[in-house]
Structure 1
């Protein structure tokens, strides 16, 4: 069977990243290909230098007792946080080993295997913010420059910005012009491609939206820390402001609900939750309060009522808010904004129209990838849509 390689953001900490990687793999497999994600070590920030413990001790010896005590307390707290994050990271890594076909080798700029291109019929870059010019990890590898032009395909990558800085425009123009098939995740991305290359490219849905509720539930897993009673679920990457937190407490008290905070490290038992548990938590929540794009997406996919907050520290001009706005507009879910929380039944959400629109978007995505992978009708019929 012919094989496709995926280039995406590699890491074991973000629900959306892991789940989009899994979904893109499944979407490609649905077209009759084997698929694996290539580990790209170009994405390691080499500019970060770790201070040695020896140097830390030397600096502490020159401080007074209160300064030393304060510093040691911070170090201890930092170590606790690192230990918690490491436990969480291990769970994410286990998910990846179970559900995502990752290569047992890695590539980086200047260290591309000679046989890499020959391993794959096509290479697909996406989705996530793999083309963000302000990321220290973005490189020509993200644009598949190591492969022949006809093999280069993008599926729903994001630039994460509205404009490419002048210093990067020359590279981006060259790299984008040499791509065979381009699709992007947001309208802003399509405008960037048009501006730099003159090409009109399709805006397609995030790959997580391709898979059905039944397929997502097939990899869901119940957490040992999941409440036995009904609960209100929160996942606030911006931490949430006082108003958001107070509102959650009021709702929980009024309706006798437990509170599960997936994004709060202070709620350790729920914070240490993997992607499979993330799906199960959303599926069974009475209502989901979130500022996450993928939080909104999985609410719709799993028929769970949700309320979306503006992420603390961001506004409507940011990439994150832009893609959430695009999602709410595209699927006619404007009323689920936090500003309407007192005017809607937060425990009920009619997804009838949204599902009709989702099916249309799935057809567009299917048609695009079928053309990009040069699939004939017979293969598509055998693999099923």
Structure 2
């Protein structure tokens, strides 16, 4: 049985990050792989955050929630959800509090999610070359539906990271991305056309194969829209609700 590692955003408190990690694990297990999640060391972000410390950052996050246009009950529920996220969801991934760095593997898969989004200021992710394969202990290194997020080639060049990232990308045995921006960056930095794949969330048959999804019946039609707080304007929200 092949031992495969997934290096992703599995420790980020985000529904999308959890769903893609869970889906990729299940897809690999269907192929007969033994799957583990691999952690990376978080280095300082490339873009320096002017917030003085972690406490100030968390305080500002609370202020953001308070300023959201939602009821008090919804705001309290959201904050409780953030606090209990890891306790509730990490066990479903088979991830414990113990970090798993550089285990010996037959193959290391980097992705899905914005694993290549290295020009940003989030201290929970930072700038980590391990997400580009540095110091891995695997026989093969590939990415699957990886994304640079809002990192562009111009940003990589502006922060003088393009050559370094290019060096590491060229060491991959195969690169798969999920969007055109990421594909163009890979092509420019490696000279090779990457493979385009759907995000695992859209590939895995959650409704028919996942036994963790609760069963319920809703007669009326509905739409679920997933986005970060504040990303949808009032006009967009009104149009969607009509």
TM over 0.5: yes
SS at 1:4's partner residue?
strand
SS at 1:40's partner residue?
coil
Preserved contact between residue 24 and residue 204 of structure 2 (Cα < 8 Å): no
SS at 1:165's partner residue?
helix
Corresponding residue number in structure 2 for 1:24? 24
The structure whose Rg is larger is 1
2:133 corresponds to 1:144: yes
Task: Sort the Cα spacing of 1:206 and 1:43 in 2 relative to 1 into closer, same or farther, 3 A.
Answer: farther
2:177 to 173, 184, 192: 184
Corresponding residue number in structure 2 for 1:6? 6
Aligned residue runs from structure 1 range 70-85, under 5 A = 77=66, 84-85=77-78
Structure 1 Cα separation of the partners of residues 207 and 222 of structure 2: 23
Preserved contact between residue 117 and residue 146 of structure 1 (Cα < 8 Å): no
Structure 1 Cα separation of the partners of residues 191 and 222 of structure 2: 47
Deviation at 1:83, TM superposition (A): 5.2
Once the two structures are superposed, what CA deviation does each residue of 1:268-306 show, in whole Å capped at 9, x if it has no partner?
Answer: xxxxxxxxxxxxxxxxxxxxxxxxxxxxxxxxxxxxxxx
Instruction: Name the count of aligned residue pairs.
Output: 218
Task: Sort the Cα spacing of 1:18 and 1:43 in 2 relative to 1 into closer, same or farther, 3 A.
Answer: farther
1:230 to 220, 225, 228: 220
2:184 corresponds to 1:198: no
Preserved contact between residue 4 and residue 123 of structure 1 (Cα < 8 Å): yes
Bigger shift: residues 97-106 or 41-50: 41-50
Structure 1 Cα separation of the partners of residues 4 and 127 of structure 2: 21
Structure 2 Cα separation of the partners of residues 43 and 181 of structure 1: 25
**C-alpha RMSD of the superposition:** 3.5
1:123 to 108, 115, 137: 108
Preserved contact between residue 150 and residue 180 of structure 1 (Cα < 8 Å): no
2:87 corresponds to 1:102: no
Deviation at 1:231, TM superposition (A): 5.6
2:143 corresponds to 1:157: no
Structure 2 Cα separation of the partners of residues 103 and 151 of structure 1: 25
- Runs (4+) of structure 1 moved beyond 4 Å? 43-48, 74-78, 80-83
SS at 2:131's partner residue?
helix
Task: Sort the Cα spacing of 1:106 and 1:200 in 2 relative to 1 into closer, same or farther, 3 A.
Answer: same
SS at 2:98's partner residue?
strand
2:228 corresponds to 1:243: no
- Decide which structure has greater helix share: 1
Deviation at 1:200, TM superposition (A): 2.2
Higher relative contact order, structure no. (Cα contacts within 8 Å, ≥ 6 residues apart): 2
Corresponding residue number in structure 1 for 2:162? 169
Deviation at 1:213, TM superposition (A): 5.0
Bigger shift: residues 28-37 or 168-177: 28-37
Once the two structures are superposed, what CA deviation does each residue of 1:103-136 show, in whole Å capped at 9, x if it has no partner?
Answer: 54226xxxx5xxx332x22111101111013134
2:86 corresponds to 1:89: no
Structure 2 Cα separation of the partners of residues 245 and 100 of structure 1: 33
Preserved contact between residue 6 and residue 125 of structure 1 (Cα < 8 Å): yes
Task: Sort the Cα spacing of 1:194 and 1:106 in 2 relative to 1 into closer, same or farther, 3 A.
Answer: same
Preserved contact between residue 112 and residue 144 of structure 2 (Cα < 8 Å): yes
| TM-score normalised per structure 1 | 0.48
Deviation at 1:93, TM superposition (A): 2.6
SS at 2:23's partner residue?
helix
